[in-house]
Structure 1
Amino acid sequence: AYVDTVTLGGRCSWPLAGGPLLGALCRLAGGQAAALVFLFLTALLYLAGCAVCIKMWRRQAAR
């Protein structure tokens, strides 16, 4: 069965879960949340790859 939410507990079920940002995040569909996580992880992987390349480049330049 398709469930149109990712908020089956967690921070969205807190009684103090107020605020517009958290409220918007609690209304995300499952596909939207998965896409956001994918984009965030892809950006982190890209930055990690850049850091490794710069480290290797500096090491080769110092030779």
Structure 2
Amino acid sequence: MNELTPDHVLGELAAIAFADPGTERSGQPIKVADKLRALEMLYKHLGLGDGQTTEGVIIVDEA
């Protein structure tokens, strides 16, 4: 078993978050972990937001 370190956990979360799910060469489906949850955990770990602030979106219609 690998030593459980913050870097190891972060690496595992990144692998889940950025995985490209598909099928194995045998054609069997690959089990997919919860990518959204992994991205959320990375987002919080990296301090990209406090979870309380809502960002506004402005849609510009250039037509």
The two structures have a TM-score, normalised by structure 1, of 0.27
The two structures have a TM-score, normalised by structure 2, of 0.27
Q: Which has the larger radius of gyration?
A: 1
**Higher helix share goes to which structure?**
1
